[in-house]
């Protein structure tokens, strides 16, 4: 494929990914073509159907996820006292992939039309995420009972689009939810307070709340 044709194809996939996330999986392909700066005939020359274009977008997402996982493994293994920061960067990088909106967009496609290539890539990507979790457990950052699929589904659920009224009333909500998830994934969260029912939050300013805050800060810097 010529370089200009490859760039054109990549631009179509990029715009499809953006529009699918913003408008859902049934967005008109004419809108994708227009956003990509090509005609609908060019889009169909590159992707013979909506399913083929959806596969290409899913493969791109999985590729980004695999790159994030591979880099996180290297960071965690060489982080020393900064393993907690490396783990947190990985989770926030997954959040930035906007998996929730894209999962909703591709729900029907995933149930009926995934190609063998996508299924194989999905399995390989989950293996990469499992390697991150193993490195995180080795660095004492991550609770021991979390599986790769659970983490990806958790992030996908966390990043599903919220109603505009909710975000207007609580603009800090997405960031707050990420913090809650990170706290729940940390080593030791699979026992103690979370396994004994609803957590009791110590009163603000109490000795318990100060100790709790210091403990979380130390964990984020170094899990060991």
Q: What percent of the chain has pLDDT over 70?
A: 81
114 alpha-carbon distance from chain centroid: 20
What confidence tier does 131 reach under pLDDT thresholds 50, 70, 90? very high
Supply the pLDDT for residue 108: 66
Determine, yes or no, domain membership for 91. Answer: yes
Determine, yes or no, domain membership for 74. Answer: yes
Q: How far apart are the first and last CA of the chain?
A: 49
Q: Please report, for the domain that includes residue 79, its CATH number.
A: 1.10.357.10
Determine, yes or no, domain membership for 131. Answer: yes
Tokens of 108: 């029907």
Supply the pLDDT for residue 224: 60
Indicate the number of domains in the chain. 1
Determine, yes or no, domain membership for 6. Answer: no
Supply the pLDDT for residue 115: 86
Read off the pLDDT of residues 185-205 as tens digits, 9 standing for 90 and up.
987 755 544 443 333 444 444
Read off the pLDDT of residues 42-83 as tens digits, 9 standing for 90 and up.
999 999 999 999 999 999 999 999 999 999 999 998 877 788
Q: What pairs with residue 58 in β-bridges?
A: none
Q: Residue 140: pLDDT above 60?
A: yes
Determine, yes or no, domain membership for 14. Answer: no
pTM of the model: 0.78
Domain that holds residue 193: 49-221
Supply the pLDDT for residue 211: 37
């Amino acid at each position: 494929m010529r370089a200009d044709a490859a760039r054109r194809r990549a631009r179509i996939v990029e715009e499809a990914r953006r529009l699918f996330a913003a408008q859902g999986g049934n967005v008109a392909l004419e809108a994708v073509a227009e956003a990509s700066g090509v005609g609908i005939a060019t889009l169909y020359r590159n992707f013979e159907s909506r399913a083929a274009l959806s596969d290409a977008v899913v493969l791109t997402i999985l590729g980004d996820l695999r790159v994030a996982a591979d880099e996180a493994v290297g960071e965690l293994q060489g982080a020393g006292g900064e393993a907690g920061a490396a783990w947190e960067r990985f989770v926030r990088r997954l959040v930035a992939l906007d998996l929730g909106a894209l999962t909703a967009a591709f729900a029907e496609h995933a149930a009926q039309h995934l190609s063998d290539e996508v299924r194989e890539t999905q399995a390989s990507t989950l293996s990469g995420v499992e390697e991150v979790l193993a490195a995180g457990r080795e660095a004492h950052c991550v609770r021991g009972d979390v599986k790769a699929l659970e983490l990806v589904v958790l992030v996908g659920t966390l990043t599903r689009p919220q109603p505009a009224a909710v975000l207007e009333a609580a603009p800090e909500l997405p960031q707050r939810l990420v913090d809650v998830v990170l706290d729940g994934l940390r080593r030791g969260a699979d026992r103690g307070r979370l396994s004994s029912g609803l957590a009791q939050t110590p009163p603000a300013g109490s000795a318990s709340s100060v100790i709790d805050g210091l403990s979380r800060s130390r964990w984020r810097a170094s899990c060991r």
